[in-house]
């Protein structure tokens, strides 16, 4: 998507969030950060971590699996 399309999609998702449950599957972490209140990280079909963006990014298991740290 273009930046304009991403911005418009984020606006639309945020406008629906108060009255709807929304699941977004996305690998662009900046986009996810702009829209998500809760993030779930999957690894090999199982939940690896869940929480707010900061907690998930700081999770040692997530860092090991996705960043090799």
Give the span between the Cα atoms of 14 and 33, in whole angstroms: 12
Contact 6, 31 (CB under 8 A): yes
The model's pLDDT over 6-37, given as tens digits with 9 standing for 90+, comes to: 999 999 999 998 888 889 999 898 999 999 98
pLDDT above 90 covers a percentage of the chain that reads: 72
**Contacts for 13 with CB less than 8 Å, ≥ 6 apart:** 22, 24, 35
Domain boundary assignment for the chain: 3-67
Give the span between the Cα atoms of 62 and 66, in whole angstroms: 6
**Six-digit token string for 60:** 């040692």
pTM of the model: 0.75
């Amino acid at each position: 998507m273009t930046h304009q399309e991403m911005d418009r999609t984020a606006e639309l998702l945020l406008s629906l969030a108060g009255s709807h449950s929304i699941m977004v599957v996305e690998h662009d972490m900046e986009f996810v950060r702009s829209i998500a209140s809760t993030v779930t990280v999957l690894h090999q079909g199982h939940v690896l971590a869940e929480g707010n963006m900061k907690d998930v990014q700081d999770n040692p298991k997530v860092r090991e699996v996705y960043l090799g740290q």
